[in-house]
A = this chain, B = another copy of it.
């Protein structure tokens, strides 16, 4: 959600008693602005009781292959977010330095690391003992590992492997394909301690979208496994792909993707993309060429709703889903 999740989304999710995140990519000064904004919003809206800890009650996400820890850590020290979410290291070993830096700069900040395999989860635990592991399944929108499992098997197998290696108490969050309370209920049944949602919040007005066509594309998409696809070509359209090997991203199937499958070369795809993106429609709409990141849960995102409403609705739905499942199964 780098570039999409800013101060307004993060503060709204936190105010609804979730934990909101600001996603960051290249631009550290933009992140600084969002952090200042979220700090202002939350200090104005939270009561003293709710905000009596030292930390700012939101998280910040860093893509560690493009952000320098020397740029990021001073911000962690200054704003003391409740959590830092690390993702997409070139090498998992890179997290060790990040974790040490964060712990030293802000001991109260929890370290969350997102990973997509059982082996990765074990390795990261051994390397730097994050406070939370986010297990990302292949249904997730945006970037993730090219190869992997959905959370249906990833979460329980990781839980067992962690327990077998003495890591019984690390909280696991499930990511990928969860867009309503039924997904939350399923994740809890699988042994997760909670969930994260990205795609669902693309339908929240608090999310920063580049064009109204983006929202329209999300709300109109159906049959999430058919309307989205994992591919690296999305990362080639604006210029050479900078993501580390092994990563790709899930997005809506566009003309750019279809042409790529037909064998159209990347230079021509870039030209067509640039042309489409500079039009009034921004390259969205039917026959669109612009990248629209989305997970397979996109078919469950059907109308725009405020972020707080999403959090509350999903929470209620999860309770209903578990009670219903329990009612038909528990003896």
Q: A185-B329, A225-B116, A225-B117 are in contact. Are A151 and B150 (CB under 8 A)?
A: yes
Q: A118-B299, A147-B229 are in contact. Are A185 and B179 (CB under 8 A)?
A: no
Chain A stretch 130-182: residues in CB contact (< 8 A) with chain B: 137-139, 147-157, 160-161, 176-180, 182
Report whether B183 and A152 are in contact in the complex, using a CB–CB cutoff of 8 Å. yes
* Bound CA–CA A239/B139 (angstroms): 33
**What is the oligomeric copy number?**
2
Report whether A296 and B330 are in contact in the complex, using a CB–CB cutoff of 8 Å. no
**A321 sits at the interface (CB 8 A):** yes
Report whether A176 and B157 are in contact in the complex, using a CB–CB cutoff of 8 Å. no
For A217-230 the 0/1 string (1 means CB < 8 A from B) is: 00000111110010
**Nearest opposing residue in chain B for A328, CB measure:** B188
Report whether B189 and A177 are in contact in the complex, using a CB–CB cutoff of 8 Å. no
**A318 sits at the interface (CB 8 A):** yes
* Bound CA–CA A226/B185 (angstroms): 26
For A310-331 the 0/1 string (1 means CB < 8 A from B) is: 0000000011011101101111
**A18 sits at the interface (CB 8 A):** no
Q: What secondary structure prevails in chain A residues at the interface with B?
A: helix
Q: Which residues of B contact A137 (CB under 8 A)?
A: 150, 152, 225
**A60 sits at the interface (CB 8 A):** no
The count of chain A contact residues (Cβ–Cβ below 8 Å) is 56
Chain A stretch 278-304: residues in CB contact (< 8 A) with chain B: 295-297, 299-300
Q: Which residues of B contact A119 (CB under 8 A)?
A: 222-223, 226
**Nearest opposing residue in chain B for A139, CB measure:** B150
Q: Which residues of B contact A225 (CB under 8 A)?
A: 116-118, 137-138, 147-150, 153-154
For A322, give its contact among B178, B226, B295, B325 (CB under 8 Å).
Answer: B325
A267: min CB distance to chain B, Å:
24
Q: Which residues of B contact A161 (CB under 8 A)?
A: 222
* Bound CA–CA A330/B326 (angstroms): 10
For A138, give its contact among B150, B179, B188, B322 (CB under 8 Å).
Answer: B150
**A191 sits at the interface (CB 8 A):** yes
**Nearest opposing residue in chain B for A193, CB measure:** B328
A203: min CB distance to chain B, Å:
15
* Bound CA–CA A33/B176 (angstroms): 44
Q: Which residues of B contact A155 (CB under 8 A)?
A: 182
Interface centre among A156, A295, A321 (most CB of B within 10 A): A156
